[in-house]
Amino acid sequence: MTIIKVQKGTKDILPADMPLWHFMEEKANEIFTKYGAKEIRTPIFEATELFARGVGDTTDIVNKEMYTFEKSERSLTLRPENTAGVVRSFIENGMHRLSAPVKLWYKGPMFRYERPQAGRQRQFHQVGVEVFGIQQATADAEVILMAVNYLKALGLNDLSVEINSLGCPECREVFKTKLKEVIKPYLNELCPDCQSRYEKNPLRLLDCKVPECKEIYAKPEIQTVIQSDFICEDCANHFNELQTYLNELGIKYSINKLLVRGLDYYNRTVFEITSNNLGSQNAVCGGGRYDSLVKNLGGEDTPAIGFAMGMERLAALIENKEDKKTKAFVVSNNMTEALKLTESLRQNGITAEFDLTNKKFVKQLEKASKVAEYALILGEDEISQNKITVKNLATSEQKTIDCKEVISLLN
């Protein structure tokens, strides 16, 4: 019979991997909670319209990568990212009535149909933060600081932070017009995606990864437009304030005028954090402002900013965590007593196991030495005297104590 294998672009997270994943999740809860963020869990599928309106119908995600299916004449989509879902929940549950800022964090699986590669799967996991209700650059600085401190808590210290301002819709239109003017002579040389973006969303031309397109965008006349200060006075002041805060916080950063991010909802601040661990650069975090998204999805006009990180990519960069050994392994040929002692230990908060198959003593001790810190030996003599022999499997030291003392000894 043919073995059914895991689907292309998906991957099992095995028990040996779980200490690392628990570490990432626990650090997220620890760091984000310090900043006042509350965890939110949204459904893994939403109405397709949510992503078409939220992420943008000119993006590759919506055009090429979504897992969409019909059910009862409704179009549903597995979430390709979680910002739109969190915004939907923010609106639907009346969170705009809460005192600003409203800070939410999440973790969970996302789905995009794309070519699987290292650190990128068709089902992948993200951890992220969304902050609602603050338009000042203080929120931008705090969100970037939150992301940096989370990455540092994971052991990623060699970080590069890049920032840019996309401006508001008004000043961005001026930039789009100028950009289209200088790129127009090269339009036929661009890739099909860029030719489509030229009309629908010219700002995303700068996000293209095709080498031939990148060469065109590097031309002096195009770079002159890209590097120009096109943003209006209000947006420039906002961006300058952000830089002041980052400088005061001691966060090293650089300005990258090519940084636009891949989603349509971003405005003003966008940022990306790269890790230089393992000797190569890896983008581990992306985020920015999306001040119009709440209103575009039917809510009240609410400024917002957030970020997301791919957990598979993080897992590839941080040191693997060893699985903790069981505290105690009960060694006995009296299954009733072994079961009773093991369960008593568990009820008192001690991880414990015993040999369910009742192998010989020597085999049980071999197993204990591999999986546990202590062997609790219950032979006939110990049982008759209501005692337990406790062996430290790291030092081989052992002593016999009263049964009632074992809980305090192991705790």
* Claim to verify: residue 155 and residue 56 sit in the same structural domain: yes
Q: Which amino acid is at 345?
A: L
CB neighbour list of residue 236: distance below 8 Å, 6 or more residues apart:
165, 229
Q: What are phi and psi of 46, to 5 degrees?
A: -140, 175
* Claim to verify: residue 288 and residue 268 sit in the same structural domain: yes
pLDDT, mean of each 10-residue run, the chain (411 residues): 89 90 96 97 93 70 78 89 95 94 96 73 94 96 97 90 90 82 84 81 78 84 81 91 95 88 78 78 87 92 95 86 86 93 94 91 91 92 91 92 90 86
Both tokens of 195, joined, read 């030719």
- Count, residues in the chain: 411
* Claim to verify: residue 19 and residue 107 sit in the same structural domain: yes
* Claim to verify: residue 138 and residue 239 sit in the same structural domain: yes
- Does residue 330 contact residue 341 with C-beta atoms inside 8 Å? yes
* Claim to verify: residue 350 and residue 401 sit in the same structural domain: yes
* Claim to verify: residue 282 and residue 379 sit in the same structural domain: no
* Claim to verify: residue 262 and residue 383 sit in the same structural domain: no
Find the angle CA(29)-CA(33)-CA(37) to the nearest 5 degrees: 105
Residue 204 domain-assigned?
A: no
Assign residue 338 the CATH number of its domain.
3.40.50.800
Q: What are phi and psi of 279, to 5 degrees?
A: 80, 0
Which of 317, 351, 383 is the last residue in one of the domains?
Answer: 317
* Claim to verify: residue 384 and residue 255 sit in the same structural domain: no
* Claim to verify: residue 298 and residue 347 sit in the same structural domain: no
Assign residue 77 the CATH number of its domain.
3.30.930.10
Residue 89 domain-assigned?
A: yes
How far lies 279's CA from each of 238, 274, 282, 386, in Å? 34, 12, 9, 58
Structural domain span for residue 395: 326-410
Residue 59 is predicted with a pLDDT of: 62
Residue 86 domain-assigned?
A: yes
- Does residue 213 contact residue 187 with C-beta atoms inside 8 Å? no
Q: Which residue has 């003003």 as its token pair?
A: 268
* Claim to verify: residue 294 and residue 406 sit in the same structural domain: no
**How are beta strands 326-331 and 352-354 bridged, if at all?**
parallel
Residue 3 is predicted with a pLDDT of: 92
Q: Which amino acid is at 294?
A: V
* Claim to verify: residue 150 and residue 31 sit in the same structural domain: yes
DSSP 11-46: ----GGGHHHHHHHHHHHHHHHHHTT-EE----SEE
Residue 266 domain-assigned?
A: yes
**Entry pTM:** 0.85
* Claim to verify: residue 91 and residue 158 sit in the same structural domain: yes
CB neighbour list of residue 397: distance below 8 Å, 6 or more residues apart:
391
Q: End-to-end alpha-carbon separation of the chain, Å?
A: 50
Is the bond leading into 169 cis (omega within 30 degrees of zero)? no
Q: Which residue has 């009240």 as its token pair?
A: 300
DSSP 238-301: HHHHHHHHHHHHT--EEE-TT---S-TT-EEEEEEEEE-GGGS-EEEEEEEE-TTHHHHTTS--
Number of domains forming the structure of the chain: 2
